[in-house]
Amino acid sequence: MHCVSSKHSVMMVSFCQGALLLSLAAAMAVYADMKVDCGPDFVTLMWTESRPQADTSLLRLGNCFPTSFSAGEAYFYVDLTDCNFRRLVTGDALVYSNDLTYVASADSYNLAYTHPVVCAYERPKDWYATIYDPVFKTYSLGDLQFNIGLMNDDFSGPAESTRFPLGSIIPIMASVVQETHQPLLLLLEECVAATTPELYPESTMYPIISNKGCLLESVSSRSKFEPRQKSSEIRLSLQTFTFAMGEEVFIHCKLLAWDPNGLDSTKKACHFVEGHGWELLDNLAQSNLCDCCESKCKSRRQRSVASEKHGMVQKAVIGPFTITDVNS
């Protein structure tokens, strides 16, 4: 059963199978009806077009083509994990959003347009635990597998607790598995702390690593990169901070798997050592690559499409964990 049928000049709000469906007004008048069902883990959408010149095969839901189409109609049956659906957690709601787009051909009389589709569900009580393992997380990118986790004090296993007293050290380890690749060097290009499992423009963030691999926290704390055990692994001892103390904290990082022979001022791991200044983790003799940590790090090389093939970037999230006040 379809739960919404709406002309596009009208804003509709309706409940469907426990989900809240929002059909927002398009920026231009579009002569069509849209019917959507928000299932527990899928969405069906039927688009009925009244303009005879419109080619419904040119409709896209995110990056997905219609499941089927005919003259005047397009039908989509897709999983919420497909088609580039965006996921947002807000309050007690788990929201999935996407865009239905008409890709007009060059000789078409019909203009291109985009129509937002949003399904919101009641957030499961164990949603963090199901989607975000607070201790360890694995990501796959092509034939590479990235791992990041909170570790115990000597990095020999996963952390036994996700509560860290203020001033203590949070051991973090990331690695990349590279079965079919040449040896790769794993770097932490950027890390920020936030109170949400996903980052939004309005998110309050606390920078930890920025400027292409500069560990900012090492300037004013005991935070540091630990000596490598192997090139495909990087260990970070992060001293706890006062940001969001007592709240759930997530650390968002960009992991970069790179050619070990391709280090430059934008591909590096640098930390500040008192009495010595900025040092390069992987070769003290090349610590001049860290000089830009006080300004803006830019590559001196002419970048090309070919040079980008030396590495791959993966976004990763670890948490939630909590920093506690030792006096409370």
The rounded percent of the chain whose pLDDT value lies above 70 is: 77
What pLDDT does residue 41 have? 87
Establish whether the linkage from the previous residue to 320 is cis, with ω within 30° of 0.
yes
pLDDT band at 202 (very low <50, low <70, confident <90, very high): confident
Furthest-apart CA pair in the chain: how many Å?
75
Cα–Cα distance measured from residue 280 to residue 290, given in angstroms and rounded to the nearest whole number: 6
Fold of 136-324: Immunoglobulin-like (2.60.40)
Q: Judge whether residue 130 has pLDDT over 50.
A: no
How confident is the model over 306-317, as a mean pLDDT?
68
Q: Where are the domains of the chain?
A: 32-122, 136-324
What pLDDT does residue 173 have? 94
Cα–Cα distance measured from residue 36 to residue 47, given in angstroms and rounded to the nearest whole number: 9
Query: Nearest CA to 292 among 305, 313, 277, 302?
Result: 277
Q: Judge whether residue 84 has pLDDT over 60.
A: yes
Q: Judge whether residue 53 has pLDDT over 50.
A: yes
Q: What is the mean pLDDT of the chain?
A: 80
10 Å CB burial of residue 33 (0-12, 13-18, 19+) is middle
Fold of 32-122: Immunoglobulin-like (2.60.40)
Q: What is the CA radius of gyration of the chain?
A: 24
Cα–Cα distance measured from residue 66 to residue 75, given in angstroms and rounded to the nearest whole number: 6
Q: Judge whether residue 145 has pLDDT over 80.
A: yes
What pLDDT does residue 131 have? 35
pLDDT band at 118 (very low <50, low <70, confident <90, very high): confident
Higher pLDDT, 42 or 55: 42
Same CATH fold, 136-324 and 32-122?
yes
Q: Cβ contacts of residue 192 below 8 Å, gap of 6+?
A: 199, 205, 206, 207, 208, 210, 251, 252
Cα–Cα distance measured from residue 80 to residue 78, given in angstroms and rounded to the nearest whole number: 7
Which segment of 145-149, 184-188, 299-303 scores lowest on mean pLDDT?
A: 299-303
Q: For the segment 219-271, what is each residue's pLDDT rounded down to a tens digit?
A: 999 999 999 988 889 999 999 999 999 999 999 999 999 888 888 999 999 99
Q: Is 286 helix (H, G, I), strand (E, B) or coil?
A: helix
